[in-house]
DNA sequence: AACGGCAGCGCC
DNA sequence: AAAGGGCGCTGCCGTT
């Protein structure tokens, strides 16, 4: 199979220019036509921004196998060059290349209107260049910068995985996650009562709110932490906050209805009927994913709250008739990633087992929970409870893994940058931090950043493992199975039921392949827990 | 009326 | 002595 590169530039008028790398640019009336023509060779499509270009192709029923996203790559490169936060758009990259005024990233409209892609550049000094020359020059520049990276092979893998993520995010938004509106409505009605009129509380919520007021003997808004704190104080049960774990310690008749209210109110306002009206259409939930929306490379969402779906709501995620959901979860991903990164023999041996913490228990007095606390404290910077004692065991028994996170923390405390395994770089400390660090609060600021960088190296590497796994999986799914959800270390595929076994096999393959691509030969295994279900709620 | 910080809590 | 990482989203409430 020939795998070349084809650059694509979308003109302001909606026309398209394509240029096979090494060849000549030519107009291609319609991007879909160009994709139909070239895609049989599985080229790597080079374009300014997947969010702008790809949705139209998906609407036309087309998919591409790989791409190079200039926007996301620019973000990776800028961070690696210690310039996080500078505008990442191709226009901005072009302007920097030529010393021109750099357009603001916010000026780029990404709502799917192709016309707007080059508008900001047109308003600025980059206006003179044709879109196809802009794509060509920025692409060449990025390839130079990737080649100049201290580890181009790893960094190139990261660039490819990030770009694959952009394709997958667009495809997931296009396909949507199965979400049965009738099941969701039934679930809400069961928990809250029938859908209320606009601006009203559901019956059960109103009843609980009334019980809270009755318990205090006067009207109290259960949504107002201030009023709650005041009411408890007046009742002789002062509380420092209204967090549920605080309230649970209080002996007062308002506590029970208040806690019940808080739990249900959240479901009502976050994932209730109004939410469904906005985000669920035709039994599909279509969130907006933001690839690399988190500095660690994790995805974020810009709407729909897809990464915070409460477990109880998973009952509404139901496969189509005759189809299944294959729910796959990378178990204990972060400690395994730490073991592989640190090449720590003892930890890596434990990470060859299905239950890593159980395998470590022996080192921690035979207590699995202690092993878990030790590892989590090492990765998060925890110091409460038994953590200090358990961390000293960790330092003794798993010195290389311990040193890796300690070094990351020390670098952070000193204001240095740290990197993931493939070369994602954390942002530099803020200006305020640099001022704070010399003040009386300096020690605290240093510790806070140390915890951030300590966690960054592990979380970012876990994120790139997951991205790589997903990219491999995407290429191995049997048609018409497709990915419908991704949440940090968990992936869901929607598949005709008879193909579920093939999908599961593809998941196992993808996990092993991602581990090999990132870490090469290692005793560490990153096993996937897979459940084939009709409803997401039945996984786990 | 619009905006933004905060509290609180859901997910990993 | 204690001290936990990353997000998004909502309603409240003070500010403009």
pLDDT at A3: 61
Task: Express as a percent the part of chain A with pLDDT over 70.
Answer: 95
The Cα-based distances of A361 to A119, A201, A352, A380, A523 in angstroms read 59, 49, 14, 20, 19
pLDDT of A335 over the 70 cut? yes
Q: Is the CB of A455 under 7 A from strand C?
A: yes
The overall longest dimension of chain A from CA atoms, in Å, is: 80
Q: What are phi and psi of A251, to 5 degrees?
A: -100, 95
- Cα separations (Å) of A190 from A68, A95, A268? 47, 57, 12
Run of H or E including A484:
strand A482-486
With H, G, I as helix, E, B as strand and everything else as coil, classify residue A496.
strand
CB of A275 within 7 Å of some strand C atom: yes
User: In Å, what is the separation between the CA of A63 and the C1' of C13?
Assistant: 48
Lowest mean pLDDT among A22-26, A349-353, A407-411: A22-26
Per-residue model confidence as pLDDT tens digits over A478-513: 999 999 999 999 999 999 999 999 999 999 999 999
Cβ < 7 Å from nucleic strand B: A 225, 229, 241-245, 262-263, 266, 307-311, 487-490
Q: How far is CA A342 from the centre of its chain?
A: 24
> CB-based burial of residue A277 (10 Å sphere; 0-12 exposed, 13-18 middle, 19+ buried)?
exposed
Torsions phi, psi of A211, nearest 5?
-65, -40
In this model, does residue A111 exceed pLDDT 60?
no
* Predicted local confidence at residue A97, as pLDDT: 95
Q: What DSSP state is assigned to residue A355?
A: S
Taking only the tens place, the pLDDT of each residue in A235-252 is 998 888 899 888 988 899
Given this model, what pLDDT does residue A106 score? 57
Q: Which residue is nearest to nucleotide B6 (CA to C1')?
A: A225
Domains of chain A, each with CATH number or no CATH: 5-148 (no CATH), 182-276 (1.20.1060.10), 285-332+464-538 (3.30.70.370), 343-460 (1.10.150)
CA A317 – C1' C9 distance (Å)? 21
Distance of A240 CA from C13 C1′ (whole Å): 18
Report how far residue A227's alpha carbon sits from residue A349's, in angstroms, rounded to the nearest whole number: 54
* Residue listed under structure tokens 């201290």: A150
* Protein residue closest to B7, using CA and C1': A225
User: Is the pLDDT reported for residue A229 higher than 60?
Assistant: yes
B8 nearest neighbour residue (CA to C1'): A243
**Distance from residue A304's CA to nucleotide B3's C1', rounded to whole Å:** 22
> With contact defined as beta carbons under 8 Å apart, do A250 and A237 qualify?
yes
A429 sits within 7 Å of strand C by its CB: no
Phi/psi for A301 (5° steps) reads -125, 150
Q: How far is the CA of A376 from the C1' of C4 (A)?
A: 8
Q: Is the confidence at residue A399, as pLDDT, over 80?
A: yes
Question: From the C1' of C5, which residue's alpha carbon is nearest?
Answer: A380
* Two structure tokens written together for A299: 């995805």
pLDDT at A540: 76
Name the residue closest to the C1' of C2 by its CA. A384
Euclidean distance between CA atoms A457 and A469, whole angstroms: 18
Looking at residue A126, its pLDDT comes to: 57
| CB A457 within 8 Å of CB A405 | yes
Residue A28: predicted pLDDT: 85
Residue A532 CA to B2 C1' — how many Å? Answer: 48
* Whole-number distance in Å between A407 CA and C3 C1': 19
**Has residue A115 got a pLDDT over 70?**
no
Can you point out the beta strands (E) in A251-402? 280-281, 284-285, 288-290, 300-303, 323-330
Residue A469 pLDDT greater than 90, yes or no:
yes
Nearest nucleotide relative to A224: CA against C1': C12
Query: CA of A388 vs C1' of C1, distance in Å?
Result: 13
Strand C within 7 A of A48 CB: no
In this predicted structure, which of A86-95, A123-132, A289-298, A404-413 has the lowest mean pLDDT? Answer: A123-132
Tokens of A209: 């709110």
Rounded Cα–Cα distance for residues A342 and A226 (Å): 47
Query: Closest CA to C1 C1' — which residue?
Result: A384
CA of A147 to C1' of C1 (A): 50
* Tokens, residue A232: 């408890």
Tens digits of per-residue pLDDT, A161-217? 999 999 999 999 999 999 999 999 999 999 999 999 888 899 999 999 999 999 999
User: Whose CA is closest to A186, among A277, A315, A291, A295?
Assistant: A315
Nucleotides of B strand lying within 7 Å of any protein CB atom: 7-12
- Rounded to whole angstroms, the distance from the CA of residue A389 to the C1' of nucleotide B1 is 55
Which residue places its CA closest to the C1' of nucleotide C11? Answer: A223
Element (H, E) at A20: strand A16-20
Query: What is the average per-residue pLDDT within A348-361?
Result: 93
pLDDT, tens digit, 9 for 90 and up, residues A214-227 = 999 999 999 998 89
Mind spelling out the 3-state secondary structure of A41-81?
A: HCCEEEECCHHHHHHHHHHCCCCCCEEEEHHHHHHHHHHHC
CA of A380 to C1' of C14 (A): 35
- Four-CA torsion A79, A83, A84, A89, nearest 10 degrees: -90
Please, where are the H alpha helices in A193-254? 203-216, 225-234, 244-247
């Amino acid at each position: 199979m020939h795998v070349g590169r084809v650059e694509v530039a979308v003109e302001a008028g909606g026309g398209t220019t394509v240029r096979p790398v090494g060849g000549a640019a030519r107009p291609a009336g319609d991007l879909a036509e160009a994709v139909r023509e070239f895609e049989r060779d599985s080229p790597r499509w080079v374009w300014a921004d997947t969010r702008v270009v790809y949705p139209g192709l998906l609407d036309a029923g087309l998919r591409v196998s790989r791409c190079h996203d200039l926007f996301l790559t620019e973000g990776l490169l800028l961070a690696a060059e210690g310039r996080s936060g500078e505008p990442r758009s191709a226009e901005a990259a072009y302007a920097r290349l030529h010393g021109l005024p750099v357009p603001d990233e916010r000026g780029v409209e990404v709502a799917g209107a192709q016309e707007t892609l080059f508008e900001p550049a047109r308003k600025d000094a980059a206006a003179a260049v044709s879109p196809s020359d802009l794509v060509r020059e920025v692409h060449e520049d990025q390839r130079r910068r990737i080649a100049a990276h201290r580890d181009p092979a790893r960094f190139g893998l990261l660039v490819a995985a990030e770009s694959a993520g952009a394709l997958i995010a667009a495809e997931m938004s296009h396909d949507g996650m199965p979400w049965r509106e009738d099941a969701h409505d039934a679930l809400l009605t069961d928990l809250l009562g029938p859908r209320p009129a606009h601006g009203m509380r559901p019956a059960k919520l109103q009843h609980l709110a009334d019980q809270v007021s009755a318990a205090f003997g006067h009207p109290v808004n259960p949504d107002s932490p201030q009023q709650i704190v005041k009411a408890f104080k007046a009742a002789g049960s002062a509380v420092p906050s209204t967090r549920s774990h605080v309230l649970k310690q209080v002996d007062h008749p308002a506590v029970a209805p208040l806690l019940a209210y808080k739990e249900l109110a959240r479901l009502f306002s976050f994932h209730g009927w109004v939410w469904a009206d906005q985000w669920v259409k035709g039994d599909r939930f279509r969130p907006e994913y933001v690839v690399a929306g988190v500095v660690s490379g994790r995805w974020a969402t810009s709407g729909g709250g897809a990464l915070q779906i409460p477990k109880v709501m998973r009952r509404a995620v139901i496969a189509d008739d005759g189809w299944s959901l294959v729910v796959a979860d990378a178990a204990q991903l972060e400690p395994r990633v730490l073991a592989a990164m640190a090449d720590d023999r003892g930890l890596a041996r434990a990470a060859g087992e299905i239950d890593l913490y159980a395998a470590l228990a022996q080192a921690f007095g035979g207590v699995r929970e202690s092993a878990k606390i030790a590892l989590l404290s090492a990765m998060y910077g925890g110091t409460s409870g038994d953590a200090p004692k358990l961390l000293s065991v960790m330092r003794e028994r798993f010195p290389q893994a311990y040193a890796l996170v300690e070094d990351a923390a020390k670098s952070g405390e000193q204001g240095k940058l740290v990197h993931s395994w493939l070369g994602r770089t954390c942002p530099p400390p803020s200006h305020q931090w640099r001022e704070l660090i010399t003040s009386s609060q300096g020690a605290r600021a240093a510790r806070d950043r140390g915890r951030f960088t300590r966690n960054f190296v592990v979380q970012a590497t876990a994120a790139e493992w997951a991205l790589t796994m997903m990219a491999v999986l995407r290429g191995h799914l049997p048609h018409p199975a497709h990915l419908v959800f991704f949440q940090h270390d968990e992936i869901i595929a929607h598949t005709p039921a008879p193909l579920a076994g093939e999908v599961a096999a593809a998941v196992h393959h993808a996990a092993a392949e991602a581990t090999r691509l990132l870490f090469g030969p290692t005793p560490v295994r990153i096993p996937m827990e897979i459940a084939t279900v009709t409803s997401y709620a039945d996984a786990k």
